[in-house]
Amino acid sequence: MRMSRFFLRTLRDDPADAEVPSHKLLVRAGYVRRVAPGIYSWLPLGLKVLAKVEKIVREEMDAIGSQEVRFPALLPREPYEVSGRWTDYGPNVFRVKDRKGNDMMLGPTHEEFFTLLVKDLYSSYKDLPLSLYQIQTKYRDEARPRAGILRGREFIMKDSYSFDVHDEGLEASYQAHREAYVRIFDRLGFEYVIVRATSGAMGGSASEEFLAVAETGEDTFVRSPGGYAANVEAVTTVVPDSIPLDGLPAAHPEQTPGTPTIDSLVAHLNEAFPRDDRPWEAADTLKNVLVMLRQPDGDRVPLAIGLPGNREVDAKRLEAHVAPAAVEPFDEADFAAHPALVKGYIGPGALGSESVTGIRYLTDPRVVEGSRWVTGADVQGSHVLDLVAGRDFVSDGTIEAAEVRAGDPAPDGSGPLELARGIEMGHIFQLGRLYAEALDLKVLDENGKLVTVTMGSYGVGVSRAVAAVAEYAHDDAGLVWPRELAPFDIHLIVAGKDEAVVAGAEQAYLDLQAAGLDVLFDDRPGKVSLGVKFKDAELIGVPTIVVVGKGFADGLVEVKDRATGEKRDVEVTALVDHLRS
């Protein structure tokens, strides 16, 4: 491809709305272009990289015997209604009414439809196991589309689904997918981790995520020296042993005027009620946080979370555990509706389904039986000390909503956790029989009995992968594509207007193409300075840059490695062999 005819214009400036490197560079280097928030066009450069990602994904899915199909994006309401997701998706999907008034959805994922298709075609255990996949355009109406194609509203995913009769079959299908994903992400060439995940709105049991490690990632994950890894939503708290109730001091309310915050409370405790053994700490207090849960059907239901005063509620962890409900603030009107709640002094006494407010009350797993707390007395300016869990109050259950901190112990005893950030690139789920049950996918088993099929669901962000690789593989000058994904093999530059040099570059262009290499040839005429040509080459990020210039008179061309910056002069006659190796 000749740059003089190539549909490409690089930009000098970062796009105004871009925050992360991949977004800036993919737009500036002419790979993608914004059409609307979270909605992008693929320019020729970008489309070439996208096609290479698709090829890798397709090859590895084919290799595990998964069969490719393609579903429509525009889907009827009914199957989503049966699974409950028509409502559960809330405002996160695009809904469409056709001219006859039928409700449709632009599909964010296709569990229901794969289930129905298999139900349509298959009826016996002999037909299973089965694995189907598609590489297809999906839609989500993100509240905050951001980071270019990293989090778009229209995007391309590979989604696949496995169908088995028995649990062991599902386990094997899951493992096959896991191994295919390892090969896919190894080939894509970015650093990634496999972490335990919650299954969220998808339902089902075991699930893992493949995260591209990136500071700019939206997902937080933890890992331990001993190999534990989980996304932050899936981390479980190490629960302390419970404490015998015998001999614990009785609870006693105390005046604590002007202590509506944990800091002011701790300061007051240390002043007015000093401990013998050590100072009071935030961890000695039980903080009760109120939120409202917006159910998919629109209902708002209050929830109280009790957690040690030294930890905040982590919105993502909370959301993962209350999904499909959305978390909203507990506002003044909500307080007004519950006069028993004394702001700043809320205690377990006013919380729980048996209490005067009837508000569901879930506590952090650290609030074990026998643990002693300073907490609100439900009276302005007053707290209770030595309030003992399991003796003086009982919650409606536990919830993993407290923030995870670096240094917290891994739940499997493999050491202290460190926190890092990543981009969700793949997700594998053991769905189990959830959708098959809802949509009645049954087959005859070995004994002629109808049994419900067990399913897995597996996704790879295909368009997102282009951005994730860019996020990983760039430097200050631009993109640095790994060879398997690069839009071209060679970026050939003619340096100078000398007739022999131009002719030499033209000949090199033909020779390299004849050798089966895909060449981007910067043949732009003399008006485009060599500096601009070099800058563009660095920005675009083709792995090998060949410059035909001054040395050509001596039969030499320069070959530069985009990643290392290493340059070397190569005999023109040996160029093709050199580059092929």
Residues near its own copies, by CB under 8 A: 5-9, 30, 33, 35-36, 39-44, 47, 50, 65, 67-76, 91-92, 94-96, 98-99, 102, 104, 106, 113, 117, 120-122, 130, 132, 137, 139, 141, 143, 153-154
Question: Based on CB atoms, which residue is closest to its own copies, 43 or 389?
Answer: 43
Q: What whole-number distance in Å separates Cα of residue 72 and Cα of residue 138?
A: 10
The nearer residue to its own copies, 144 or 278, going by C-beta atoms, is: 144
Q: How far is the CB of 462 from its own copies (least distance, A)?
A: 13
Q: Shortest approach of its own copies to residue 304 CB, angstroms?
A: 29
Residue 243 or 528: the one with the smaller Cβ distance to its own copies is 528
Phi, psi of 464 (to 5 degrees): -60, -35
Cβ distance to its own copies smaller for residue 86 or 139? 139
170-183 burial string, b = 16+ CB within 10 Å, else e?
beebbebbeebbee
- The minimum distance between CB 174 and its own copies, in angstroms, equals 19
CB crowding 193-218: b at 16 or more within 10 Å, else e: bbbbbbbbbbbbebbbbbbbbbebbb
Residue pair 281/310 in contact by the 8 Å Cβ criterion: yes
Q: What's the CA gap between 74 and 77, in Å, rounded?
A: 10
- Which residue type occupies 238? V
Q: Are 108 and 139 in contact (CB under 8 A)?
A: yes
Contact 4, 525 (CB under 8 A): yes
Question: Distance between CA atoms of 495 and 523, rounded to whole angstroms?
Answer: 9
CB of 514 to its own copies, least distance (A): 18
CB of 578 to its own copies, least distance (A): 28
Print the SS3 string covering 296-363: CCCCEEEEEEEEECCCCECHHHHHHHHCCCEEEECCHHHHHHCCCCCCCCCCHHHCCCCCCCCCEEEE
In the bound state with its own copies, the residue whose beta carbon lies nearer, of 124 and 353, is: 124
> Which residue, 154 or 208, has its beta carbon nearer to its own copies?
154
Task: Pick the closer one to its own copies by CB: 199 or 463.
Answer: 463
Contact 558, 569 (CB under 8 A): yes
**Separation between Cα atoms, residue 359 and residue 338, nearest integer Å:** 9
Cβ count within 10 A of residue 499: 8
Compute the least distance from the CB of residue 92 to its own copies, in Å.
8
Task: Give min distance, CB of 191 to its own copies, in A.
Answer: 28
Contact 259, 268 (CB under 8 A): yes
Least distance between its own copies and beta carbon 59 (Å)? 14
